[in-house]
Amino acid sequence: MFERIVMATDLFPAWNDVVACAGEFKALGCSQVILTYVISVKFMAGMEGSLQAAVRSKLEALQQLLEAQGIQVTVETPVGLPAYSLNDIACRYGADLMVVGSHGQSLWREGVLGCFTCAVFHHAQYPVLLLNVRLIRPGMSGSCQISSAEILRHVLLPTDFSEMSFRALEYVERLAAKGIEQVTVLHALDVPGGDAYPPGYQEMAEAKARDSLDAWTRRLQGADIPLVNPIFDPGHFLPAILRVLESQDIFLIIMGAQGKGSIKELFLGSVAHNVARLAACPVLVIPAAGR
């Protein structure tokens, strides 16, 4: 299902380990990687050519690692803003997924140009897999520390039952055929109370949410996922997600790009930013249809 992947490298040494995991991406369906480094030259006008030449020599080493694992590789070094450039590359190649790291090239880059990952999430028109490079254990350069079998062992699916969350649900169903062993479906609902609301409002809202959670659980069970664990949390989403991450072995989080209610514009606000920053596991972000 992820046949063509745009792999957005920042050329940090940790990316040698990510690139060495191409065989694991193959297990998810990958046959082609568009290895991309976006050159941001906002303050370096006129240096585009020399920068592209320097970057391409470094990308060639990563290209050889990918090709040695049976992956078809195309190298791209667009000039511009990363978030827009990655969408352009993904559109040109008909990509199914963009893979990015969780940090920028440097503290200067993030401070001046803004959070690279946040910008990608904000503008993404294609699913984005965030790999937190801190999850890669120290080891030999070019050694893979991510397992496709492990990443699908236990998936966390936070939902507010919006259209965006529903798209994330569909991706979980599609990945079920790749070997998902367990899914935890999380819904957090902080229902307001007080005299401004009619009697029984909180009880009715919670009952409706639990009914929806049960329906999602049955649907995932129908996708032949061996174990589906529903969790209802009467609180805010970010603390609820962090509690699940602390109490359970989650290997992948799959979330919609934006939701409604307490997680309105999920990946444009603090919830998404903090989940991406704090989660030790990969996060797969599914954007709105036709975005």
- 222 assigned to some structural domain: yes
Asked, for residue 194, whether it belongs to a domain, the answer is yes
Structural domain including 41 reads 4-135
User: For residue 56, is it within any domain?
Assistant: yes
| 67-71, 136-140, 272-276: the lowest-pLDDT one | 136-140
Distance CA 75, CA 68 (A): 15
What's the rounded mean pLDDT across residues 21-40? Answer: 85
- 291 domain-assigned: no
The whole-number pLDDT of residue 119 equals 66
Residue 94's pLDDT band (cuts 50, 70, 90): very high
Question: Do 152 and 277 have their domain in common?
Answer: yes
User: Is 46 among the domain residues?
Assistant: yes
Q: What is the number of structural domains in the chain?
A: 2
Structure tokens of 194?
A: 């007080």
Tens digit of pLDDT for each residue in 39-52?
Answer: 875 545 566 667 77
In a domain, 100, yes or no: yes
> In this structure, are 183 and 255 located in the same domain?
yes
Q: Is the pLDDT of residue 267 over 50?
A: no
Q: Is the pLDDT of residue 56 over 50?
A: yes
The reply to whether 153 and 131 lie within a common domain is: no
Using pLDDT thresholds of 50, 70 and 90, give the confidence band for residue 111.
Answer: very low
Split at pLDDT 50, 70, 90, the class of 232 is very high
Neighbouring C-beta atoms of residue 52, cutoff 10 Å: 16
Q: Are strands 4-8 and 72-76 parallel, antiparallel or unpaired?
A: unpaired
The residue that leads in pLDDT, 202 or 47, is 202
Cβ atoms of residues 155 and 175 within 8 Å: yes
pLDDT at 59 over 50: yes
Give the tens place of pLDDT for each residue, 176-196: 998 899 999 999 987 766 566
pLDDT for position 11: 80
**Domain boundary residue among 105, 135, 165?**
135
Greater pLDDT, 191 or 60: 60
Residues 102 and 180 in one domain: no
Per-residue model confidence (pLDDT) at position 21: 74
Look at 52 and 2; give whichever has higher pLDDT: 2
pLDDT at residue 170, rounded to an integer? 95
- Side-chain-side CA neighbours of 40 within 13 Å: the count stands at 17
Give 115-168 pLDDT, tens digit per residue: 566 667 667 788 988 876 555 455 545 556 567 668 899 999 999 898 888 999
Most confident of 48-52, 69-73, 202-206: 69-73
What end-to-end distance do the CA atoms of the chain give, in Å? 19
The tokens of 209 are what?
A: 């949410």
116 and 218 housed in the same domain: no
Q: What's residue 132's pLDDT?
A: 67
pLDDT at position 49 is 66
For residue 238, the domain's CATH number is 3.40.50.620
Question: Same domain for 95 and 189?
Answer: no
SS (H, E, C) the chain: CCCEEEEECCCCCHHHHHHCCHHHHHHCCCCEEEEECCECCCCCCCCHHHHHHHHHHHHHHHHHHHHCCCCEEEEECCECCHHHHHHHHHHHHCCCEEEEECCCCCHHHHHHHCCHHHHHHHHCCCCEEEECHHHCCCCCCCCCCCCHHHHCCEEEEECCCCHHHHHHHHHHHHHHCCCCCEEEEEEECCCCCCCCCCCCHHHHHHHHHHHHHHHHHHHHHHCCCCEEEEEEECCCHHHHHHHHHHHCCCCEEEEECCECHHHECHHHCHHHHHHHHHCCCCEEEECCCCC
Q: Does the pLDDT of residue 83 top 70, yes or no?
A: yes
